[in-house]
Amino acid sequence: MSRLSRLFGFHSRDKPKNSVGSTFSFLFGGTTSGKAVNERTAMQATAVYACVRILAEAVAGLPLHLYRYRKDGGKERVTDHPLYYLLHDEPNPEMTSFVFRETLMSHLLLWGNAYAQVIRDGRGRVLALYPLLPNKMEVSRTAGGELIYTYRRDSEESRVNPNSGTVTLRRDEILHIPGLGFDGLIGYSPIAMAKNAIGMALATEEYGAAFFANGANPGGVLEHPGVIKDIQRVKDSWNSAYQGSGNAHRVAVLEEGMKFQAIGIPPEQAQFLETRKFQINEIARIFRVPPHMVGDLEKSSFSNIEQQSLEFVKYTLDPWVVRWEQSLRQSLILPSEKPSLFVKFNLDGLLRGDYQSRMTGYATARQNGWMSANDIRELEDMNRISAEEGGDLYLVNGNMTKLADAGAFANNQPKEVSK
């Protein structure tokens, strides 16, 4: 253990934690609303499902390339590197790059961590990447302080070893993308952190389903002036005739002086609809997704919805992208290649404005000489123009000159001889 590690308290006995607060509360999802919330039940809330799907599909759909630094300060794609094909096309024979990234991003949003097993050849180069379920992974340290990953494998996950058991993997055999956490090693589940808010959303949804299942009428009491001999028969007869949304607003016929007394609280008094709407915004706030992207257009308009979409890319998607890029570079690129290679997502397509705004920006860039025709055509997914046709030329307006040369032409003209 290094002296620096000892100074800052990182000892080999320190073990990353995978739980928040009470282990029982984290595992079984106990909430104040009474609804059990975990990473799987939370997906039953439409707002959670929508936020996870939006972010997972956004990251999965972005162009992902491997680049090399050039000596002139620029960059170029390295399409002949084996890692390029794995990241851009197929990380393993069973998955496309889109499905692989979508799966890992959903794990990251639900469990706070994303894991993938890295298959390497004898020289350390990556051959394949396979996602691993975060709820089966435990991160710990060896006696020497090195991180190790213990994966609990089910019998369905291995045909070679049909018996369930654990597999221990080294740091270089795992691609680990951690979310927000307290120790910099393990991310904590957003679902566990916000389980009460999600539990309340599930509770209100269940209440609404039960409300309509009972004929969209609050519960009540049947009053009889005498003594009922068969209470269950009367109850079953009433429910069979008036319970359920299909029997709503039917005319009730009461006999023998029987009266119906409603005792339930009407939904408008219980702020039912307002509560459900607020929980949608609450869950969108957890994932930092604009409400209009999950179907809440109450405060959105044509004037601000484009700005909200750009803020989504800048403040929501970009931090996730940086987290992905740095984790991929740290885990997959060989130490000898790290000074020259890097992984980069392309967000330009999401940051583009409408057609008129793009054309105005391209015209400014073209006239001021920092974009060529081919640079613009590549951004618009158009074929390049050959160099003979001027596709790579950088042009500037002829009436522009350096400030130091202003008036030079006049000073060089012969002066008129005075008479």
What averages of pLDDT result for each successive group of 10 residues across the chain (419 residues)?
44 52 45 75 87 94 91 86 94 95 95 94 92 92 89 70 76 93 86 84 76 60 63 68 54 62 57 74 88 76 74 89 95 93 85 73 86 85 83 80 62 56
Same domain for 333 and 382, yes or no, is: no
The residue among 323, 351, 379 that closes a domain is: 351
Same domain for 293 and 208, yes or no, is: yes
3-class SS at 45?
A: coil
What pLDDT is recorded for position 10? 45
Number of H helices, E strands in the chain: 15, 11
User: What's phi and psi for 164, nearest 5 deg?
Assistant: -70, 150
- Number of Cβ within 10 Å of residue 244's Cβ equals 14
Tokens 């707002």 -> residue? 47
Contacts of 205 (CB under 8 A, 6+ apart): 45, 276
H-state helical runs in 260-387 = 272-287, 305-311, 318-332, 348-351, 355-367, 373-379
70 in any annotated domain: yes
Contacts of 57 (CB under 8 A, 6+ apart): 102
Tokens 């006999």 -> residue? 255
What pLDDT is recorded for position 11? 46
Same domain for 295 and 392, yes or no, is: no
CB burial of 260-291 (b: ≥16 within 10 Å; e: otherwise) equals eeeeeeebeeeebeebbeebbebbbebbebbb
Same domain for 196 and 232, yes or no, is: no
Cβ(364)–Cβ(340) below 8 Å: no
What ranges make up the beta strands (E) of 193-298? Answer: 220-223, 259-262
What pLDDT is recorded for position 8? 40
Contacts of 313 (CB under 8 A, 6+ apart): 347, 350, 351
What pLDDT is recorded for position 86? 94
How many domains is the chain partitioned into structurally?
Answer: 3
Cβ(48)–Cβ(55) below 8 Å: no
369 in any annotated domain: yes
166 in any annotated domain: no
Same domain for 257 and 277, yes or no, is: no
What pLDDT is recorded for position 5? 44
- The two tokens of residue 335 are 């130490």
Same domain for 197 and 317, yes or no, is: yes
* CA 273 from centre of chain: 27
What gap in Å lies between CA 149 and CA 174, rounded to an integer? Answer: 8
157 in any annotated domain: no
97 in any annotated domain: yes
pTM above 0.85, yes or no: no
226 in any annotated domain: yes
Q: Please give the residue range of the domain that contains residue 116.
A: 24-131+188-213+269-351
β partners of residue 139: 149
What pLDDT is recorded for position 114? 95
The residue among 232, 263, 294 that closes a domain is: 263
